[in-house]
Structure 1
Amino acid sequence: MKTSTSSSSSETKAPLLTLAATSLVAIFGCAALYQATMGFQVVSTEDGRRLEIEREPRSVPFAALDWPSRPLLGDVLSNDGRVTIVSFIYTSCTAICSVLGNEFQQMQETIRARGLQDKVRLMSISFDPRDDAQQLRAYAIRQHADRTIWNFAGIPDGSQRKAVLDTFGVVVVPAPLSEYVHNAAFHVVGPSGRLEKIDDYDSPDRALADAVAMYDADRK
């Protein structure tokens, strides 16, 4: 009888221990998910990055550009007075960069038509070290860029280029045939030179509206 009682007690405890362990795993799993999604407000790393930037805008690094006199990106973005919508590209790209280029072309026309050139400008930054000033000028001509609205720049220094990409959350992975795989978005930088908003690359109207609202809010 004693052996039977001991066996029954062990059998009763086993499911209880399993249930307790499962509960702990679920609790820790929920806690990890809560932290990863910033309080269940987002469901992906990309959304989390965007929410974090809206909460705490990021200052743009002072990376030297390949323009004449080698100005610093932070200065270029903060001394102009306008809101800048930034995209990251490379000139030999035939995929997502072409989409970004088309969207910027249309956005440039909208800015001109609505008389917003004193409020908003566009900037395409190449992350490809092969894109020197001459190649960027040629690319700008192909894109029919108006230099008073839409500028192109590269960042020759590798460590500075990485710092800028990290700040904007741009991931660039080398691919075969000298191509790159990279994420894309419209990055809205306020007049103070801080990255304040990120919009999907297929939502140019939203990006422009955010830029105009940001400019107007800054003037109040």
Structure 2
Amino acid sequence: MKYFGALIISLTAFISCTQPEKKLPILGNREPVEKTVDGKVVVDTVYQTIPSFNFINQDSVQVSDKNFAGKVYVADFFFTSCTSICPIMHRNMLKVYNQYKSNPEVKLLSHSIDSKYDTPSQLKKYADKLGVKGDMWEFVNGPHDAIYGIAEKSYLVSVAADSKDPANFIHQGWFVLVDKDKRLRGAYDGTDPKQVDQLTSDIQTLLDEYHTR
């Protein structure tokens, strides 16, 4: 919980005092940058964004950040042999999938943290068991360093191999909401139905934000 715990508290406070036409906060690291506008030096804020990536999905097709250009998407981390929080997370994620599967502006991205076992064929079996069709919900795998690096450095989700059991893994159950500009806009406990309902609502809030620009 070390990455998003404090952010969730801040997010809750933000939601409680926003107006009806709200905007979601922008999470993650940020830094001030000076730039010149109309001859005047102003300070702008540069926010953390998701970097380029390239993984293989359940259909043995390469999936990159380009597939998510112009999309609002939800990212999470799991492994198919998980018997603890993953089944709960993805039963909850199915609610998001079913609500938005006909909306081309929304995608889901589940990263496997078991690079050895979770081959594309295994990911395909997993997706089929959930009843997932098409490319709205991508289940991907890639090199260990790439998956673990993007989890912790970019999505701010902690993942690790279990030192007591090399066949098991430790990971957080966050669903991370990413906007069309690749910025982090929300984090939700994927095992909590109420937080997943909030995620479903926040996706629409984020879409509305773009539609009114």
Taking the TM superposition and a 5 Å limit, the aligned residue runs for 1:124-139 are: 124-130=110-116, 131-139=118-126
Q: Deviation of residue 170 (structure 1)?
A: 1.7
Report what 2:37 is aligned to: none
Task: Describe the shift of the 1:211–1:53 C-alpha distance in structure 2 as closer, same or farther (beyond 3 A).
Answer: same
For the pair shown, the structure with the greater C-alpha radius of gyration is 1
CA-to-partner distance for each residue in 1:17-54, whole Å, 9 max, x for gaps?
A: xxxxxxxxxxxxxxxxxxxxxxxxxxx75323555826
Report what 2:199 is aligned to: 207
- From 36, 49, 63, the counterpart of 2:53: 63
- From 157, 164, 171, the counterpart of 2:158: 171
Taking the TM superposition and a 5 Å limit, the aligned residue runs for 1:184-199 are: 184-199=173-188
Structure 1 residue 161 corresponds to structure 2 residue 161:
no
Taking the TM superposition and a 5 Å limit, the aligned residue runs for 1:22-171 are: 46-49=4-7, 53=27, 56=30, 57-67=47-57, 70-72=62-64, 74-77=65-68, 79=69, 81-112=70-101, 117-130=103-116, 131-155=118-142, 157-166=143-152, 167-171=154-158
Matched residues in 2 for 1:119 and 1:185: separation? 21
CA RMSD after TM alignment: 2.5
Number of equivalences: 171
Amino acid at match of 1:48: A
Greater share of strand residues, 1 or 2?
2
Alignment partner of 1:92: what SS?
A: coil
* Identical positions, percent: 20
TM-score (norm 1): 0.68
Matched residues in 1 for 2:110 and 2:81: separation? 14
Q: Which runs of 5+ in 1 are unaligned?
A: 1-43
Matched residues in 2 for 1:177 and 1:162: separation? 15
Report what 1:13 is aligned to: none
Is contact 1:123–1:151 with CA below 8 Å preserved after alignment?
A: yes
